[in-house]
Chain A
Amino acid sequence: MSLKPALQLRHDNAAYSVAFSSDGGLLASGSLDKTVRIWELPSGLQKFQMKGHGEAICSVVFLFANSILLSAGLDRTLRTWNLATGMLKSTMSGHSAYLTCMAATPDNLTAVSGAHDKDLILWDINAAAPIATMKGHTDIVNTVAFSPDGKMIASGGHDFLIRLWDVDERKQIQEFGPQAKPIQCVAFSPDGKTIVAADESPVIRLWDVSIGKTLRTFNEHKAAVKCVAISPDGKRLASGSNDTSIIVRDISTGEVLQTLKAHRNTIYGLAWSFDGTRLASASFDRTVCVWELLSPG
């Protein structure tokens, strides 16, 4: 397996978030420059530059067969954008402080956001309205993720804990930790049985969801890990760090498959394409990189 740099796309300020469309034809990126940009792949041509958020965009997700993009910003709003026109479709607000993270269920019906107000809010995407507020974190929430079946949420933040939530019951069911530092990122494996998470250290932990135990640690980064992404086949783990590198590992053996170096600053966002042949990275160096797999598998 080897990834090679294919594109380097530029924002006017730090890039925080990336997502591939399910067909691999588009890439979305969100930035501190307050824009969401839609890039055509493989050309890298910018299709839309969508303005409306009043602050940095921390998360982006393609929805409904790539007809809608959902974005979340520090301006406390979630916004949906029509990808046929690039126009704003709806705006959702409810948090009382910086909104820092967002994820959507695989059926695209529900989103969850976390914020500096310590809350998680569940959203009905079609209705553009909040469903419920889930309280439990005692400090800033930095990261959220849905399980692949959409029934659980993992979240983490400045209270050093990874919390698991039952979506239907809208309550916390488990917590892992505390870690030594604020939790920066969480991700479910495709089978939903494990969670990958990192606090503000170079260490990445693989947790068994059912028993809440650490199965494995990965410790190759030289500085804090800010983002993780597991490939759709569940075999590879990509992590981005303050050390400006991206490390791709075999998740079962821990073997480092490749260290990717193209960025000059912290990596804040990572996403695999749905077919697992491409990886996108968003960095504080104002760029988004697309990496292509040379030998699939």
Chain B
Amino acid sequence: MLTIQGPGLKLRDGIARRTAMQIGALGMGGLSLPQLLRAESATGKRSSHKSVIMVFLAGGPPHQDMVDLKPLAPVEYRGEFSPIHSNVEGIEVCEHMPLLAQRMDQLAVIRSLVGSEGQHSAFQCLHGHPQLNQPIGGWPCFGSAVSRIQGTVNSEVPAAVALQPRIGGAFWSESGQGGFAGMRHAPFAANAPGSNDMVLTSMTKDTLQNRRALLGQMDSLRRKLESNDVIDGMNTFYQQAFEILTSGRLLNALDVEAEDPVIRERYGRGSKEPAGYGDAGWLRNEDFLVARRLVEAGARVVTLSFGRWDWHGQPHGTNFDNARDHIPALDRALSALLDDLKDRGLDRDTSVVVWGEFGRTPKINNKGGRDHWPQVGCALLAGGGMRTGQIIGETNALAEYPTKRPVHFQEIFATLYNRLGIDVDHTTINDLTGRPQYLVDHTKYQPLPELI
């Protein structure tokens, strides 16, 4: 984390209350300041660009209690919630999603998500591949791959930004790895404090400039000692780091207090306290708003983790206690995001995906919980010019397995790449052995024709 104080970064009153704006996660996975930055030069500013907002529901959301209710199933399967009609004929969702029900024409519901690795982890949702048997260097996460392929929209905002907080359950709060796309493409983790943070206390913009001058002198001296391309490259990164730090564009996007209070209220607030019992991220509706602000500022991929959806039952509340807590929060935040994107004309350029690592057991356990169920899960897709207002896939009477149109995780990724203008049939990134790697297994998985 790099913390800088001073007038050069003062955006509005809200900043002063926080005492300093923090540029987070420079230390993520050993990253240093230059690794914030992409290697390429800015490719020019556009009024709008294609982007993706990914909402990760850590722990595995209960598909049968949200978008695939089975009211005719036996009581030990069907749960406590009733379905409600939506604004699309034939589509029903959970009674605790009334706002999304009225926006179902803007959503595509995947009821047959398959291919889960079964790992309790954000990895598959962030990277599109299993954790096991990765190529040398590791799979780049979705944002890293997009950063590598498309670069930044402008020089002040990284292509990939992750809003996940870094907390105890690292497997849920990780922001995604750069992998063989390169560490410099790893998402900028805006909310990730940690022991590796670089905190410059009491530093003003002026002193920062002085430090830059000092750094320049040191680098100049070093260059005299040895001619080294790496150091030259590093200079470029440092230069870009200073551009970000001093421009305020990224900082402003992250500053939710700069938002119109009326719009802010639509999203709801939430809290930065860890959700559930402390091993997952927070349940913070405002992250949806920050994601929109980041997309507007130039980010191509923004990921966030919302709450803790791993509901095994008492003594940590039943599946339904937790669902009554989380689902209305998601209902409000996601509805506000859809409205906001539409109001700003971003809905055709920005794709939204909401999902978790797997579904949950059809039968309710003796503690009122549902356990892990990799056999089938669900996903919500919106925006991006996709054909929404439809259900894709179907499960059997107990929501145990797909009976129609199973949709693999990689088909979702192929669709998201497609929406960004990336052709999964022809786009590769070389791994550390120099071997080209496709973004998804394109021989099996293609963009969903139902959506594009």
Residue A242 interfacial (CB < 8 Å): yes
Q: Are the C-beta atoms of A58 and B273 separated by less than 8 Å?
A: no
Q: Are the C-beta atoms of B317 and A14 separated by less than 8 Å?
A: yes
Smallest Cβ-Cβ distance to B328: which chain A residue: A264
Chain A residues close to B by CB (< 8 Å)? 12-14, 32-34, 55-56, 58, 74, 98, 100, 116, 142, 158, 182, 200, 223, 242, 244, 264-266, 284-286
Q: Are the C-beta atoms of B366 and A158 separated by less than 8 Å?
A: yes
Point out the residues of chain A lying under 8 angstroms from B320, CB to CB: 242, 266
Task: Number of B interface residues at 8 Å Cβ cutoff, please give it.
Answer: 20
Q: Are the C-beta atoms of A32 and B324 separated by less than 8 Å?
A: no
Q: Are the C-beta atoms of B277 and A55 separated by less than 8 Å?
A: yes
Q: Known: A14-B321, A266-B321, A284-B325. Contact between A32 and B273, CB under 8 A?
A: no
Point out the residues of chain A lying under 8 angstroms from B322, CB to CB: 284
Contact among B325, B328, B366 with A182 in the assembled complex (CB-CB below 8 Å): B366
Q: Which residue, A74, A223, A244, A284, has most C-beta atoms of chain B within 10 A?
A: A284
Q: Are the C-beta atoms of A100 and B315 separated by less than 8 Å?
A: yes
- Per the bound structure, the CA–CA distance linking A200 and B318 in Å amounts to 12
Point out the residues of chain A lying under 8 angstroms from B317, CB to CB: 14, 32, 266, 284
- Per the bound structure, the CA–CA distance linking A33 and B308 in Å amounts to 13
- Per the bound structure, the CA–CA distance linking A213 and B21 in Å amounts to 66
- Per the bound structure, the CA–CA distance linking A242 and B276 in Å amounts to 18
Point out the residues of chain A lying under 8 angstroms from B366, CB to CB: 158, 182
Q: Can you name 11 A-B residue pairings with CB atoms under 8 Å?
A: A13-B276, A32-B316, A33-B273, A34-B278, A55-B277, A74-B315, A74-B316, A200-B368, A223-B80, A265-B324, A266-B324
Given contacts A32-B277, A56-B316, A182-B366, 10 further A-B contacts (CB under 8 A): A13-B277, A34-B278, A74-B315, A116-B315, A200-B368, A223-B80, A266-B318, A266-B320, A284-B321, A284-B324
Smallest Cβ-Cβ distance to A223: which chain B residue: B80
Chain B residues close to A by CB (< 8 Å)? 80, 271, 273, 275-278, 314-318, 320-322, 324-325, 328, 366, 368
Closest CB in chain A relative to B58 CB, distance in Å: 15
Closest CB in chain B relative to A60 CB, distance in Å: 15
Closest CB in chain A relative to B94 CB, distance in Å: 15
Point out the residues of chain B lying under 8 angstroms from A264, CB to CB: 324, 328
- Per the bound structure, the CA–CA distance linking A13 and B273 in Å amounts to 8
Shortest Cβ-Cβ A-B pairs, 5 listed: A12-B273, A284-B321, A265-B324, A266-B321, A100-B315
Point out the residues of chain B lying under 8 angstroms from A142, CB to CB: 314
- Per the bound structure, the CA–CA distance linking A58 and B322 in Å amounts to 17
Number of A-B contacts (CB under 8 A): 55
Q: Are the C-beta atoms of B80 and A242 separated by less than 8 Å?
A: yes
Point out the residues of chain B lying under 8 angstroms from A266, CB to CB: 317-318, 320-321, 324
- Per the bound structure, the CA–CA distance linking A117 and B80 in Å amounts to 29
- Per the bound structure, the CA–CA distance linking A58 and B366 in Å amounts to 19
Q: Are the C-beta atoms of A265 and B315 separated by less than 8 Å?
A: no
Point out the residues of chain B lying under 8 angstroms from A100, CB to CB: 314-315
Point out the residues of chain B lying under 8 angstroms from A116, CB to CB: 315
- Per the bound structure, the CA–CA distance linking A57 and B372 in Å amounts to 26
Smallest Cβ-Cβ distance to B282: which chain A residue: A12
- Per the bound structure, the CA–CA distance linking A100 and B278 in Å amounts to 18
Smallest Cβ-Cβ distance to A184: which chain B residue: B314
- Per the bound structure, the CA–CA distance linking A254 and B276 in Å amounts to 37
Smallest Cβ-Cβ distance to A264: which chain B residue: B324
- Per the bound structure, the CA–CA distance linking A266 and B321 in Å amounts to 6
Closest CB in chain A relative to B285 CB, distance in Å: 14
Q: Are the C-beta atoms of A58 and B315 separated by less than 8 Å?
A: yes
Closest CB in chain A relative to B98 CB, distance in Å: 13
Closest CB in chain A relative to B311 CB, distance in Å: 12
- Per the bound structure, the CA–CA distance linking A74 and B315 in Å amounts to 8
Q: Are the C-beta atoms of A98 and B315 separated by less than 8 Å?
A: yes
- Per the bound structure, the CA–CA distance linking A266 and B322 in Å amounts to 10
Closest CB in chain B relative to A231 CB, distance in Å: 26
Closest CB in chain B relative to A168 CB, distance in Å: 30
- Per the bound structure, the CA–CA distance linking A12 and B273 in Å amounts to 7
Smallest Cβ-Cβ distance to B368: which chain A residue: A200
Point out the residues of chain A lying under 8 angstroms from B316, CB to CB: 32, 56, 74
Closest CB in chain B relative to A243 CB, distance in Å: 9
- Per the bound structure, the CA–CA distance linking A98 and B328 in Å amounts to 29
Q: Are the C-beta atoms of B321 and A265 separated by less than 8 Å?
A: yes
Closest CB in chain B relative to A191 CB, distance in Å: 31
- Per the bound structure, the CA–CA distance linking A60 and B106 in Å amounts to 47
Q: Which residue, B314, B325, B328, B368, has most C-beta atoms of chain A within 10 A?
A: B314
- Per the bound structure, the CA–CA distance linking A100 and B313 in Å amounts to 13
Point out the residues of chain A lying under 8 angstroms from B271, CB to CB: 12
Point out the residues of chain A lying under 8 angstroms from B276, CB to CB: 13, 32
Q: Are the C-beta atoms of A56 and B277 separated by less than 8 Å?
A: yes
Point out the residues of chain A lying under 8 angstroms from B278, CB to CB: 34
Closest CB in chain A relative to B159 CB, distance in Å: 34
Point out the residues of chain B lying under 8 angstroms from A55, CB to CB: 277
Closest CB in chain B relative to A279 CB, distance in Å: 21
Q: Which residue, B80, B278, B321, B328, has most C-beta atoms of chain A within 10 A?
A: B321
Point out the residues of chain B lying under 8 angstroms from A33, CB to CB: 273
Closest CB in chain A relative to B169 CB, distance in Å: 15
- Per the bound structure, the CA–CA distance linking A123 and B277 in Å amounts to 27
Closest CB in chain A relative to B19 CB, distance in Å: 22
Closest CB in chain A relative to B73 CB, distance in Å: 17
Point out the residues of chain B lying under 8 angstroms from A223, CB to CB: 80
- Per the bound structure, the CA–CA distance linking A55 and B366 in Å amounts to 21
- Per the bound structure, the CA–CA distance linking A158 and B368 in Å amounts to 12
- Per the bound structure, the CA–CA distance linking A286 and B273 in Å amounts to 12
Q: Are the C-beta atoms of A56 and B315 separated by less than 8 Å?
A: yes
Point out the residues of chain B lying under 8 angstroms from A14, CB to CB: 317, 321, 325
Closest CB in chain A relative to B319 CB, distance in Å: 11
- Per the bound structure, the CA–CA distance linking A24 and B139 in Å amounts to 60
